[in-house]
Structures are given as structure tokens and as C-alpha cells.
Structure 1
Amino acid sequence: MSTIKITHLTFGFDKQVELLFEDANLTIDSSWKLGLVGRNGRGKTTLLQLLLGKYAYQGEIQFPLRPVYFPATISEQDQLTYYALLEVADFELWELEREMNLIQLDPQVLWQPYQTLSGGEQTKVLLALLFTQENFFPLIDEPTNHLDLQGRQHVANYLQHKDGFIVVSHDRQFLNQVTDHTLAIEKSQLVLYQGNFATYEEQKELRDEFELAQNRKIKKEVSRLKRTAAEKAEWSRSRETEKYGKPSEKGSGGIFDTGFIGARAARTMKRSKNIEQRMYDQIEVKEGLLKDLEDVDRLTMSYHPSRHAQLLKMENLSLHYKEQEALFAPLSFEVQRGTIVALTGPNGIGKSSVLHYLLGTFAGQASGELLRPNVKISYVRQNYENNRGTLQDFAEANQLDYSAFLNNLRKLGMERNVFQNQIEEMSMGQRKKVELAKSLAQEAELYIWDEPLNYLDVFNQKQLEDLLLQKQPTMLIVEHDQTFLKNIGAQQIALKK
């Protein structure tokens, strides 16, 4: 057992006005199974990178163990998986196969090209690789991405039997199963909780209720101070008119008393200005006490209903690679205007491959009949690492309405100071928001979304639910979150062997 100690940590990216961490202090026991939570862009992945020593920072981080980050980067994705993994870490084949069996992954996938594995299979094989290491401390970033319900349970069971680690995830059920401590990155501080996500959620709700009550009290006081300041300002202006008197006044008040009245008005106005300034000073102090609870704004979508009643019809689709057997049993379905159709099934069965086939990017062989009129399509990719450059350049390259694009990014919770960053410098959650905001800003008759909830926090998920219920777009979606699919009224088409 060791102790990870963070002392007076201060860090922010050069182009950001606000710091991500300022004079942060934290002590973590290496035996803890620590869940790291917080809204996207708050610095979860950045904190892991700081623990890895990737960035220069102020303060001190004492880390007696060797940190190892998940997911590892696979550069040679066209190689067989076994050889692609050897480029990343040293391991014995039997060790890797042992871990793959423990995580419910067939070791035979080692002899397939890495790029042909499903997202869930890639996640599992990289987790298995992680735990072949010795004398290390795991930093696990979003291990539930791309996993179906069964796959998430496999990974949860797997991690329950491992020693201490830090894990980042937005999957509440998963965190409740695998963690015993929770670290929340909130707007103004790091808050450590003894317990899983449910414990954090319960205690956070109590804190939020207290802050809401305080906010209501402070806002009421601010309103009162603003009214008083306005009254003082109006009174000050009315006193100033006394210097010259009313035009109708003659004799004693209009001309001959101006010196006396002017001096008196000047003293009165000075006092009123001082009072007014004190009011505004108090307002500024009170407003500075307000804790901005998470605001969730409505998103916008450039959906244009098609004149076609049917946008997709697939009959007896079969996909396969070279001489291998078909990925799934012959598939037939249709997508009518104003409906959401979800492709479901276990990882590796070919859900994303169906989307690639529809978009003309499937690398294998296909048979079946596709009927699709010429319609505008907007696509949210599962992998979007090639999104690069500034947001403005990205918008121009994708012919986006820049204002609508930025507006949705802001509503998704991206801080304005991040707008100046290169996309490749952003967190994975922020980069996912760029991909999603791109789709929302594109004029389209049909939306094809591949696992849109990956990296999105629960606030963003609720925003998408509300948007889709409001706009009722025509959509073909691949997503594992059953609660989300049920809430948006998706018609589910299951792929089977």
C-alpha cells in the first residue's frame, strides 16, 4: 500500500483564461478503487495526464508507483492484434490470454487485424493488456465506451477482482459496482467522498439543495440592493435639478438662491453617489457568492424533414470480410420519415459495419438490396481522432454555420475559454462535443449516429433526449444505453448470428 499525494497543484492550459486546478491538495490511498467524476472539460483526463507527468505544473505530485494509462494508443492498427499490442508493451502471450479469458474475450481475436475488431473488443483487449503489467498503478479512462450491456458487466466483474486504481466513467451503474471512493472535480474544488457514485450523488444532492437555498437568499438580497441603488441614483438626479430650480419659479427660488442650493445639492449628490457605490459594491460581493449550479440549456438541430416518406429500406443485408462467415444473419429493416431506428446487438456483431455500408465506406463484401433516395445525411462517427485545428477552421472545412456550431458547444457545457484551443488539445469529452455539435449544425434529412453517448455526462445525455423528443428527426442510431433508447422512443432492430 502506497500514498499518492498532491500538494498545491496549480495547472491550466496556456490558451485558457481560467485554471483547471488552483492550489489543489489531495491524498489518495493506492488501495482505493477511486471513481473520478465531473462534467466534461473539468479536467478528469488532464488530472490523469498530470499524474503521468505529461504536463508541466506548479506544486508537487508524489507518486511512488508507476502509473499506466488506459487506453493505450495503437499506432499499427492494420497489423494482427497480437503484434500491434507488442508495439505498446512487453508481455507473455499466456499472461495476455489469461486476462482475456477473465474479461470474457476470445483470445482468437489476437490473430485478427486490430482495426477489424469492434470498439468493445478493442476496449477489452486493451484492458487485458493493461493488467499484464507488473508493479504499476492503473489510470483507466472511460473503459465502458463502445461496450454493450453484457460487455460492461464483464468489465465490471473483471475490475472488482483487481487491486486499486483510478477510473473515469459517466456510467453510474458501472461506478457503483467497481468503486469504493469517489473524487469529484467541481467548479471550485476537488471533493473526495468515501463511497461509490451513489454515495457521492446522495451527498452532492444535499449540498446542492443547501446551495440552492443560499442562492435564492443571495439573489433576493441582490435584487433588494439593486432596487435601493436605483432609488438612490434617481434621488441623486432629482436633487441635481434643485441647482437651477423649476422654470416657473420666480423671485426667491429661481435665480438668487442658486449658490446656496447648488452647494447643498452638490453635498447631497456626493452623499447619494457614495451610498449608490456602496450598494453596487455589496451587489458585486453578493453575486460573487453565487455557486453556479449546472445549467442545462436546450440544444438546436438543423433538421429538415424529407419529402420522401421512406428514407431507407434494407432487404436481406449480409456483410463479411474476405472468406470469413457473415457478421450477422440476413438483416431487413426500413427507416420512415420522423422515426428513430436503433441497431442493437452484442459487440462485434457488425452494427457499425452496417452504418459504414450505408455510407459507402465498408471495407468487406456485401450482399442484399438497399433502397435509399438521395437525401442529406449527417454522421456522428465513433472514431473522430482526425478532427483537428481551430474550431473556426473546422467549421469552415465542414461548411457549418459557425454561430450555431459554437452555440451548441456552449450549451453542451464547453467553456468559452476552450474555444481558442486546437481540437486535438481538447479532452475526449470536448472532442466528442465537437463531433456532435458538427452534426447538429449540419442541414440534414437523415441523421446516422454511431454511439453518440460515449464521453458525454448525464447532463448532456438528458439534453439529447429532450432535443430528439422535440424535433423528432429521422435517425438511424447505434447505442447501448437502453434507458436512452427507451426515452427517445427508438424502434430497436436486433442483429443476430
Structure 2
Amino acid sequence: MSTIELKHLTFGYDGQGDLLFDDVNLVMDSSWKLGLVGRNGRGKTTLLSLLQGHLTYQGDIVIPLSTVYFPLNIQNEDLLTYDALTEVSSFELWQLEREMNHLNLSPDLLWQPYSTLSGGEQTKVLLACLFTEENFFPLIDEPTNHLDAAGRQQVAKYLQQKAGYIVISHDRNFLDEVSNHTLAIEKNQIVLYQGNFSTYETQKETQDSYEQAENSKLKKEIGRLKQTAAEKAAWSQSREKDKYGKPSEKGSGAIGDTGFIGARAARVMKRSKQMEGRMQSQIESKEGLLKNIETVDQLSLNYQPTYHKQLIKVENLRLSYGMESLFSSLSFEINQGEIVALTGANGSGKSSVIQYLLENFTGISDGEVLRPQKLAISYVRQNYEDNQGTLKAFAEKERLDYSSFLNNLRKLGMERNVFHNKIEQMSMGQRKKVELAKSLAQPAELYIWDEPLNYLDVFNQKQLEELLVRIKPAMLIVEHDERFLKNVSAGIVKLG
């Protein structure tokens, strides 16, 4: 057990104006299982890089342990898995096989080219390699991407048996299972919570509700003060005019009261100025009240409901790339206002079903699909490396309403300074938001989303949940986050 300390840590990237971390002081214990959460772009991965000593910063970071980072950067994916791992890590074969056994991985995978492993197998192999390192402090960045539900359970159970680490994940259930402390990077501070993500979420909501209530009371008080100050100021100005009388009222008698009226007007004016000062003082004293409230703005969806009640009907579908079918006979339908989730283990054929529905499947098919002619479909892909160029050029190429496209990107949390970057220069989280915002802006009768939550933070998940519950579009979705599927009331079609 060791203590990790951040002392007056200050860091920001050149050319990005605002600091990511400003005079941060924090004490952590290396035995904690620490979940690291926060909006995309707040600095979660940057903090892990700082702990590894990869970036120049101000202040002090005291970390008495050497760190090891997931995912390892495999240099040559065409090598056998064992050889690819030995290029980037030092371990004994028996150590690696021991860890792979804990993850229910066959040691035979080590003697296959790394590139032939599925995304889930690659994730598990890299985790196994990570924990062959002894007396190292693990920094684990998004281990649930590309894992199916069973794989996430296996990895969660695996991490439960390990000692301390820091883990970043967008899967709330996963975080609940693998963390006992939570470090939240909020708008203007880093806050440490004792407990898992659900504990953090409950405490954060309570704190935000209190601050919002206080802010509401403050706004009412400010409004009352403004009205009173304006009334007093108007009265004092009218009294000031009375000192001289109206032009048409010569000898009205007002002149005789000039001293009294003027003094009274001055007193009222002084009181109105005092009220303005009091009001401004209250505003300034409460300026920072809401600075750490995480707002989740409503997204918009260019959904075009069709008059067809049924959009997709699949009957007795079988797909294969050879003699053996990917799954047993599959039948399901998607009706107006219905979200259907296609679930199953990695490699069970979910993406193949999507390609078949999009008429891009290159294997052998048997069965039938019924749907209206010229059905407008919007598709969120797992792989979107071909999204390139500026956002404006991309919107023109995809025939998107540029204003709507940018508006959803802003609501998804993309910083305005990123808008000038080319898409290929953006982070994976930012590139995922581009792919998602494209789909949100496209006019569509049916949405097909393939693992939309990968690389998105938990706050973006709430936005998507709220959107789908509110709009109720016709949708086929592939997603391994069981909580998300439950929250959007998705019907489940499981591949076997």
C-alpha cells in the first residue's frame, strides 16, 4: 500500500487556452480500486498520461510505484500474438498463460496472428499481459470497448480479484462492479468520492439539486432587488425634477421645498445605489455556485416517421461465409416507434445481420426480409476511420444540415476549439461524436446503430437515453450495455 499525491498540479495543452487542471491537490491510496469519470475532453486519459510521466506539468506528482498502462500499443499486429506482446512487454510464458486462464482464454490464441483475434479476445489478451507485471500500478483506459455482455462480466470478475488500480470506463454497471472509490473530473475541480459510480451519481445529484435550489432562490432575490432598486431610482429622479417645477407652472410653490425635496431625493438615490451594490455583491458571492453542475442538453433527431406501421420483418434468416451458419434461424420485426436490440456474444453474427439489412452482406444468405421500398435508413458504424476532412466539408459530403450537425456536436460536449480540427486529427471520443451527430442530422425513417456507446462518457449516454425515450424512433441497435437497453425499453432479439 502506497500513497499517490498530486500537489498543486497545473496542466494545459499548448494552444487550447483553458487549463485542464488548475492547482489540483489530491491524495489517493494505491490499494483503492478507483473509477475515473468525467465528460469526454475533461482530461481522464491526460491524467493517466501525467501519472506515467509522459507530459510536462507544473506542481508535483508523487507516485512511489511504477505504472503500467492499458491498452498496450501493439506495434505489429501481423506477428503471432505471443511475439507481438513480447515486443512491448516483459513476462514469462507461464505468467501470461495463468492470467489468460483467469479470463477463460485458450492459450492457443498466443500462436495465432494477433490481427486474427476478435476485438474482445485482443482486449482480454492485453489485460492478461498487463497483470503479468508485478509491483506495478495499473492504469486501465476503457477496457469494455468491443466486449460483449459476457466478456464484460468476465473482465469485471477478473478485476475484482486484483489489487488497486485506476480504471476508466463508459459502462456504469461495470464501474459499479470494479470500483470502491470514484474520482470525478468536474467542470472546475476534481472530487474524490468513497464508493462506486452509483454512490457518486447519487451524491452528485443531491449536491446539484441543492445548488440548483439555492440558485433559484438567489435569482428570485436578485429579481426583487432589481425591481426595488429601479423603483427607488425612478422616484428619486422624479423628486429631483420637482425641485424646479414644471415649465408651465410658474410660481407653483415647488421652489420653496427645493432643499427638502433634494435632500430626500439624494437619500433615496443613495439607498438605491446601496441596493445595487448589495445585489451585485450577492451575485458575485454566488457566481461559482453552479460551476460544477453537469448539464445534459437535449439532443435533436431528424426522425421522419413513415405511414408504414411495420418497417422491417425478417423471417427465417440464416447467414454464413461457408458451410456453417453464423446462427440458427432468425426472425424478428421492427415496427413504428419500436427499439429492438440485437444481442449475442462477439462473433455471433450481429454485424453480419446489419450488413444484410443494409444490402452489403458478402456471404451466403437464406431467408426473407420484408420492408417498404426506398426506406430511409441512418447508420452509426463501429468503424468510421473514413470520416475525414473539416466538419464543414464532411457535412457537405454527407448532405447534412450544417447548423443541426454542429448544434448536436456542441450538445454532445465537443469544445468549439475542436471544430477547426480535421476529423482524422480528433480523439476517438470526438470522432465517435462526429459519427453519431451525422446520424442525428440525417433524415431517416429507421435508425441502425452498431455499438453507439463506445468511447462516449456516461453523460452522453444519458443524453441518448433521454432522446430515445422522448422521440421513440424505429431503431435496430447493437449494444452490450444492459442498463442502457433497459432504460430505453428495447426489445431483445438474441443470436444463438
- Measured in 2, the distance between the counterparts of 1:472 and 1:234 equals 53
Structure 1 residues 424 and 236, CA gap change in structure 2 (3 angstroms)? farther
- The CA RMSD over aligned residues, in Å, is 3.6
Q: Which residue of 1 is the match for residue 290 of structure 2?
A: 291
What corresponds to 1:40 in structure 2? Answer: 40
Counterparts of 1:38-437 in structure 2 under 5 Å? Answer: 38-74=38-74, 76-77=76-77, 81-110=81-110, 114=114, 117-235=117-235, 237-239=237-239, 241-242=241-242, 245-246=245-246, 248-252=248-252, 271=270, 274-275=273-274, 277-279=276-278, 281-292=280-291, 293-306=293-306, 308-321=308-321, 325-359=324-358, 365-369=363-367, 371=369, 373-385=373-385, 387=387, 390-416=390-416, 419=419, 423=423, 428-437=428-437
* Contact 2:79–2:114 under 8 Å retained in 1: yes
Distance (Å, rounded) in 2 between the aligned partners of 1:68 and 1:276: 59
Q: Give the residue type in structure 2 aligned to 1:356.
A: Q
Residue pair 1:319, 1:366 contacting (<8 A) in 2 also: yes
Cα separation, 2, equivalents of 1:424 and 1:315:
40
Aligned-pair CA distance for 1:109? 4.2
CA shift in 2, pair 1:261/1:360, >3 Å: farther
Structure 1 Cα separation of the partners of residues 386 and 31 of structure 2: 37
Cα–Cα, structure 1 residues 381 and 318, in superposed 2: closer, same or farther, change >3 Å?
same
Distance apart, 1:120 and its partner CA: 2.7
Distance verdict in 2 for CA 1:121–1:311, change over 3 Å: farther
Count of residue correspondences: 493
Change (3 A) 1:385 1:224: farther
The SS at the match of 2:150 is helix
Q: Say if 1:228 and 1:279, in contact at 8 Å, map to a contact too.
A: no
Alpha-carbon displacement from aligned partner over 1:275-329 (angstroms, at most 9, x marks no partner): 46524532531440422423233221001124555443444444445x6843322
Q: What is the rounded CA distance, in whole Å, between the counterparts of 2:425 and 2:441 in structure 1?
A: 22
Alignment identity in percent?
Answer: 64
**CA deviation profile, 1:140-199 (whole Å, cap 9, x unmatched):** 112223333322221111112222210112333323332232212222322223333344
Matching residue's letter, 1:334: E
Indicate if the aligned counterparts of 1:218 and 1:286 stay in contact, CA closer than 8 A. no
CA–CA distance in structure 1, aligned partners of residues 233 and 327 of structure 2 = 75
Shift of 1:374: 3.0
- Greater shift, 41-50 or 266-275, is seen at 266-275
Deviation (angstroms), 1:266: 9.8
Partner Cα distance (2:308, 2:213) in 1? 52
Q: Residues 241 and 469 (structure 1 numbering): CA distance in 2 closer, same or farther, change over 3 Å?
A: same
* Aligned-pair CA distance for 1:385: 4.8
The AA in structure 1 aligned to 2:182 is T
The CA deviation at 1:35 is 1.4
- Report if the CA contact (8 A) 1:317-1:330 is conserved: yes
Q: How does 1:461-480 map to 2 (within 5 A)?
A: 461-480=461-480
Residues 17 and 417 in structure 1, CA contact (< 8 A), matched pair in contact too: no
> Does the 8 Å CA contact 2:156/2:177 hold for their aligned counterparts?
yes
Residue 285 to residue 427, structure 1, CA distance change in 2 (3 Å): farther
Whether 2:421 is the aligned partner of 1:446: answer: no
CA contact (8 A) 2:244 2:258 kept: no
What secondary structure sits across from 2:143 in the alignment? coil
Distance 1:395 1:280, change over 3 A: farther
Query: What displacement does 1:469 show?
Result: 2.7
Q: 1:265 to 1:438 in 2, by over 3 A?
A: farther
Letter in 1 for 2:493: I
Question: Given the superposition, is the C-alpha separation of residues 487 and 236 from structure 1 closer, same or farther in structure 2, using an over 3 Å criterion?
Answer: same
Distance across 1 between alignment mates of 2:226 and 2:87: 65
Partner Cα separation in structure 1 for residue 401 and residue 258 of structure 2: 62
Helix, strand or coil at the partner of 1:211: helix
**Structure 2 unmatched ranges of 5 or more:** none
CA distance in 1, matches of 2:88, 2:357: 34
Shift of the 348–58 alpha-carbon distance from structure 1 to 2, 3 Å rule, reads same
Q: Retained in 2: the 8 A contact 1:389–1:422? A: yes
Q: What secondary structure is seen at the aligned counterpart in 2 of 1:404?
A: helix
Q: Does 1:486 align with 2:486?
A: yes
What do the CA deviations read for 1:396-454 (whole angstroms, capped 9, x no partner)?
44332222123223333445555455556655444433322221111122211011223
Q: 2-side partners of 1:242 and 1:28: how far apart?
A: 70
* Secondary structure in 2 matching 1:227: helix
TM-score, normalization: structure 1?
A: 0.85
How far did residue 102 of structure 1 move? 0.8
> What is the TM-score when the length of structure 2 is the normalising length?
0.85
Letter in 2 for 1:471: I
Structure 1 segments unaligned to the other structure (5+ residues): none
Equivalent-residue separation in structure 2 for 1:140 and 1:299 (angstroms):
30
Question: What amino acid maps onto 2:447 in structure 1?
Answer: Y
d(CA) in 2 for partners of 1:246 and 1:477? 77
Q: Where do residues 6-45 of structure 1 align in structure 2 (5 Å cutoff)?
A: 6-45=6-45
Change (3 A) 1:313 1:12: same
Report if aligned partners of 2:405, 2:441 keep a CA contact under 8 Å in 1: yes
Q: Given residue 168 of structure 2, which amino acid in structure 1 is its aligned partner?
A: V
Q: 1:140 and 1:418 mapped to 2: Cα distance?
A: 26
Cα distance in 1 for partners of 2:286, 2:260 equals: 38
Structure 2 CA distance for aligned equivalents of residues 140 and 249 of structure 1? 85
Instruction: Say if 1:192 and 1:405 are closer, same or farther in 2 by CA, change over 3 A.
Output: same
The range that moved more, 418-427 or 52-61, is: 418-427
Q: Give the C-alpha shift of residue 243 in structure 1.
A: 7.3
Q: Offset at 1:388?
A: 5.0
Deviates more, 1:89-98 or 1:268-277: 268-277
Larger mean Cα displacement after TM superposition, 292-301 or 233-242: 233-242
**Aligned residue type for 1:297:** D
- SS state at 1:191 partner: strand
Residues 276/208 of structure 1: CA separation in 2 closer, same or farther (3 Å cut): closer
Report the more deviating stretch, 76-85 or 378-387.
76-85
Give 1:124 shift. Answer: 1.7
Residue 104 of structure 1 aligns to a residue whose secondary structure is: coil
